């Protein structure tokens, strides 16, 4: 098992253990996960519904929380181990053309 899978599995285990409860970011960071945002994105792409909220306190300090709302309903949904790697390009076409239409030829 690669380090990324281990990190993703540890993050998912934490979120599962507190299902439908907000998990503060310091608890996630305590797992020692590199690029926790990328791991959350991988889980979301694998079909996990993960919510997040951000609040500023009276001294403008930002506080973040994450919560697992649902696991994939489809038993054929990709597991975290097979989620698209961070930075991979989806195979559903050119992102620029999806966002802006056909490129102009110059």
The 10s digit of each residue's pLDDT in 22-80 is 999 999 999 988 899 999 999 999 889 999 999 999 999 999 999 999 888 764 544 54
What's the rounded Cα separation, in Å, for the pair 76 and 105? 41
pLDDT of residue 55: 93
Whether 100 contacts 62, CB under 8 Å: no
User: Could you identify the residue written with the tokens 């500023």?
Assistant: 56
pLDDT reported for residue 76: 52
pLDDT greater at residue 28 or residue 82:
28
According to DSSP, residue 92 is labeled S
Residue with tokens 């053309």: 97
Distance CA 58, CA 4 (A): 36
- Say if residues 46 and 77 touch (Cβ distance below 8 Å): yes
Global model pTM greater than 0.85: no
């Amino acid at each position: 098992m690669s380090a990324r899978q281990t990190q993703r599995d540890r993050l998912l285990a934490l979120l599962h253990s507190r299902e439908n409860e907000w998990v503060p970011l310091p608890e996630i960071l305590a797992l020692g996960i590199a690029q926790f945002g990328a791991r959350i994105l991988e889980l979301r792409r694998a079909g996990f519904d993960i919510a997040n909220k951000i609040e500023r306190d009276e001294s403008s300090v930002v506080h973040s929380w994450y919560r697992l709302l649902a696991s994939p309903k489809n038993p054929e949904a990709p597991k975290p181990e097979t989620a698209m790697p961070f930075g991979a390009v989806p195979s559903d076409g050119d992102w620029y053309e999806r966002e802006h239409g056909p490129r102009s030829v110059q």
